[in-house]
Structures are given as structure tokens and as C-alpha cells.
Structure 1
């Protein structure tokens, strides 16, 4: 009869009853049948590491892992195995289940705020949508976003208004009407507090900020396309993702989640979505998501959710090469192309479609299409 394989319920290392020296110890010094000696001694965890940190430690010590259990994993193979195994283990499962519930709630709240940005948004309404007490909602929102809910809403509103100043010819009074802001005085006061400049000075200063564009951007003209709406399974990218490797690991997480929930199709496309103008919003605050297009509904889980890309007209810019030069292209689009043609940006919701996947392709050969939502300018 085959014995069911057991794993350390913290780090995922297989525990073999014939190698008791690998077992941790309980508070009474008996052998723990759940944890290895690296993770658990005297009835306590030996280190207060995150799940990601424990995986990183084992990957850095792949040879030691292999020596203990007589395997020949490569570091990449071991990372893949542990990424799948650890979320199912005792130490992490309950914690992950709780975190997943809160991620789903916070994603739902942020989607609601994005969709009702200039409606009346108060903590009573938002906590009711979240299904939490007002006190618990306020604490949870700040823990997951790093901002109070009031500051978060105020910042996104002001950054959207700044975007209107830079990309449209709307007057301050027109913008107040369009955004349902209280008064000209209250908007100017809040704007100056956030950006350090009055709306007029801000527009004048940024008008010439990027007049000397890179040669990369000169002569790039878009196609104007009307697209049908798209549904995507997404995963938010936060500002802790700072390297190409981390970025690709998150893509792999998204692929694994998608493959576990829907049938793979050649029609699935890789996309990323930005809800902010990168010339206005600090990088650390940008709302950025990676996603895969799907043609069926997928139940949100933790960091993974569903989002609709709206149908409409888009200016589509094609780009080949490393992502490091993309900011120059965006500057060209926002500050040179948009002000000099018959279109204006409809909203700050833009997305990128990857013709070649960002996981497998060499960075310098990546093909990207940038979609900017547009509408015809109103004739004066």
C-alpha cells in the first residue's frame, strides 16, 4: 500500500518517516509530524517569514533541498513546485483564505470608486458595499492601499482633473461642471494642496515639460480603430514589483490561475491596463493591472478579478522593443500627438496588448500595441 506523501506544513519539504532527523520538535520535545526542523522547534516557528520569503530561501538553497530528499530539481523547477504547494499547507492556507477574502473586497470597492468617481462617496456607503463595519472597513482599506479612503478618492479625483487640464481645452468652469466638483475655489484650493501649484500654473508648467521628445517617438502615427468590449481576468501589480523576474513571476501566477479556471484558447490575449496618466500620477500610486482576455465569466479570487475593457474608438500605437522606453512614447502621445489632432483622450483608461508574450520573448523583441481611448474634439 502506497503511503501518502507528507510535507512540512510550513516550507513544503517532504517529510519521510525514515528520516526523523528532518522532523521539528513540539513544546514537549516530541517529534512534530507536521513540520521540519528548519521551520519548527520547541513548539514554535523558527522564523517569521512570509510565504514568498520561504520559497526564495529554498530556491537559493536548491542543492540543500535536493540533498535532503534525493531529487534533482533546478531552481526554477523548485520555485514552480513550491509556488503551487505552499498555499495548500497548514501555515499558509488559513492566512491565504483570509487575505483572499479581503483582496476580493478591496478590489470590489476600488472598482466601485473608479466607476462612480464623482458621485457622492462616503464611508457609510462603501463599508456597506464591502460588508464590513465602518471601523473595520477603514482599517482594512488603509492596510491594503496605504492610504485612507478619503485621501485615495481625493487623489484620484484631482489627478483625473489634472489630466483634463493637460489633454483638453476645457476651462476650469467646464471641468467643474463635468466633474461635479463643489466650487471653483474649493477645487483650486484642493488642487494646489495636492500638486503645489494652481490649476493655471500647473497647466502652463507642464505644457513645456517634455517639448524635447526622444527621436524614438518622432514620426509614430497611430491607427484609429473601433473595438468591441473585452473581458479580462486580471491581477493587480503593486509598486513592490521592481524587476523583470518579479514581473514574469506574476504573469506566471496569472497564467496558472487562468488555466485552472478556464479552457485555454488561441483567442486569449495578453494585456495590461493602466487607469492613470503616468505623467501625473506617481509611479507608486499608479493603478496597473496585467490580464488575459477571456470569453467567459471567472469567479474572482483574492488578487485575481474580472474587468471589462470598454468598447469604443482607440488610437493604436505600435511599438517594438524593451519596456524601458515606453514612457517616452507615452509622453509623445499625451503631450505631442493628442494636442495636435482632431481627437482628445476620452478618459485615463488605456491598455497595452502584447503581440508576443512578455513571459517567453526577449525584451528587445517585444511587440506592443498601445490603445488610447479617444473621441472627436468638440468644435468651438
Structure 2
């Protein structure tokens, strides 16, 4: 795997744990232990269990290192930020090389031999309920939910990783133990390490992970996202966006979503390049057009996302509220331009140079290597393999994909558009 600029090896322990190692000359070591068990593995009545479990594992300590000592260990690791995901729970860390063995011992303990301390359980239940309440209190929460329902429907990508407060409130510690037991084992996990790894790194991993019980992998297979059947326009009042000093300068929030092919399907490479052209790279077409058009935007975001067996082009950002319809017209005019005109080769070269820079910059860090290894295991592509695919996209392929998947017009197309406007007339 020379495209990752290091000495890469990948193997399984006897219990099934997948291990990926990359020795590179950085000053720090980055790691990530991920378990294929997350929100999509929750049953009815378990909504939020993966969220709560992640909190408990983070705070619970180990059978060797109780809570206070575990806090000291976490503080010494440099960076340790567990995260709940749709289909996995991740434990990424950043450390100085001298703390590698301590980190491996601690990580193995909290993830695979948790204590499920009752006091920690009750405290983290309260914390998760507060986290859910904070999320629901955001002024855009209801509108965002409505947009996602219209775009994703019943696709698992639309499941709420925060969960339900009513479920968390009534959860018992044995309920969490049961949920944990269904997915947390070595055969369902992946350990990545990148940085100045010692020669004995494999024996250190074996010392702390060889005795973890194995099991069958339980990776969730996402179904395809259903295509949209019509356009859906959601216009909502957003008083939180009102400029209280100059009302006419208020911003509206705009979010436009299209369903397109997911990764590794026909036209997906062309759609990824369309995402770059429209919105993702520094001088993308929409930024140039809207920034220079009467100051309608300061910034705009989005792009192509093809993971979880769903393909999406999303364009979102704050725009001048008085001119929101003009901005939407400009977006659709850029769709038309891609449908009607071939993209100059020079513009494609600018984008691939931009992507090449980002890859090289990412691979200068141990954290970047961990991310790249994770993507390689998930997709089979190293960063340079993916870049070669982008370099192979032709103007003809882009135009063909645009004709197939970009809306013909505001009136005749399948898309979901959310406009949160503080100047909307009631």
C-alpha cells in the first residue's frame, strides 16, 4: 500500500480482530479502534442505546483502572474522542509514542471488558438525556428533520444517533449489557495504528487483544436509497436568522438535496466530479457565481456524498434572504450549464490538482493515515487509486451524468429544497 507513504501491513488476530498498521516518520501516533455496532443495530425500544453505551464506555474505566485512574490516563493520551456512528462506534486517539502500550491496554479494557458501573450508568443516562434535549432545542431541529425525511425517507441513514429520551430514561443496565453483547467482540472490530510504531508493536497488540473473545462479523449492509418521485419545497419561518439591526440584510438558510448514484456504481465518479465543480473545491462554480452576485452569499457548502449505499448532491448555506429566489435560480442555471456544456479540460485539471494537494496534505499526518486506511478498508481504494479515478473522468461523462441526474429546471425536476427565511410572510 505504497500510496500511503509508509510501511503498511494488514492482518487478523486469531480471534478475528482486523489490524492495520502503517509505520511513518511522524512525531505522534494516531489510532482508531472501531466496532461494527451502532445506531442501525438498535431494535425497537433501544433507540439511543449506542449513544448511551459510547458514553458509558468512555467514562466507566476498566477492571484494572477505576474511574479516577482512568481519567488520568485519558488526560495523558493527548486526544481521545469516542464517537457514535450509524453502523459503528469508534474510539480514535492521538498519543506520543511512549504512551503506546498504555493506550493499547486502556483501549482494550474499556471497549472489550467494561465494568458497567451503576453510578456511571446513571450519570451518563442523565448526560445523554441532556444531550438529546440540547439537540432538540436547536431552532432548526424540526425543519432539518422534515428535510431529511423528504430526502432519505425510510433509509437507515436517516436514523437518529441521539436516540429517544423516553427510551434512555427507562433503560436498565442489563438492557445495555444485552445490546453490548450483540456486537462488541474482536471479530467485529478493526484496530488502526499509524505513526512511528516500535518494532514490537505486533506483540504489544497481541498482549492486550489476543485474549478478547471472537465472533462473527456483523457489518450492516445498507439498502439502496430510493429515488425521489417529485420535487419537495419546504419554506419555513426562521426568526433565529433575523438581523435585528438591519432587517433587510438578514440571511436565510438554504439546503438543496438531490438523489444520485452511490459510490462504486455507474456514473458515481462523474457525480463526484460534478460535486467538486459545483460546490466542493475552493473556486467552485457556485461560489464564484453567488459571491460575485450582489453579495448574496459569504460562503456555501456541500458536495457529493456516496457512502452508506446512498448518493447525494447537497448544496447548503446562508444566503441573503431578500434574494433567496434569485440564488435558487442561479443554482439551477449552473445545473443547466452542466447539462448543456462540456466542462473544459483545464477546469478538471485544476480540480484534480486541488484533490492531489489535499491527499498529500492529509498523508503528512498520522491522523490522516488512519482516515485513509479506514477508507481503504471500506472501499478498497487507496487515496491515489481514488485520485486516478477522478483523473479518468471525462467531460463527456460529466455531461451524460448531468443529463441523467441534475434537474432540468426548478419546475421540472426531482429534488428537496428547504428554505428557512426570517422574512417569510405568514
TM-score, normalised to structure 2, is: 0.24
The structure with more radius of gyration = 1
TM-score, normalised to structure 1, is: 0.26
